[in-house]
Amino acid sequence: MIKGIGVDVTMLTRFIAKDDAFIKRILTPNEYQQFSTLNDIRQVEYLAGRFCGKEAYYKACKNRQISYHDVELLDDKEKGLTISDPHAHISISHDGDYVIAFVVVE
């Protein structure tokens, strides 16, 4: 049974040259570790995607009080993008200057 659906879209340009304090407010330590291994352009895409994914998750959870560190989105070589909530499914797509995320919570 679906309990919630969330979607969010943002522009990549909002995430260029963000300071470390902002980045660490959005990313968990594990996400930050993955982020740190990427080149500059990919870091912007990664940060924007994680922000967008977490916003979509927040909406799918009916806007209950959730911090950015309450959910973790990690790349797994075998599974692809994973979300730490076992009842949630996520998809993130990039196209040009935009990122979109879609989350379903069962």
- pLDDT at residue 93 greater than cutoff 90: yes
94 is catalytic: yes
Residues 15-34: tens digit of each pLDDT: 999 999 999 999 999 999 99
Active-site hit among 18, 24, 59, 69: 59
Distance of alpha carbon 13 from alpha carbon 102, whole angstroms: 20
pTM for this model (two decimals): 0.93
Report yes or no: 27 and 35 within 8 Å, Cβ to Cβ.
yes
24 is catalytic: no
Architecture per CATH, domain 4-105, reads as Alpha-Beta Complex (3.90)
Residues 62-87: tens digit of each pLDDT: 877 889 999 999 998 888 999 999 99
- Residue 76 pairs in a beta bridge with 80
- Predicted local distance difference test score (pLDDT) of residue 77: 86
What are the backbone angles phi and psi of residue 9, rounded to the nearest 5°?
-135, 145
Active-site hit among 18, 69, 89, 94: 94
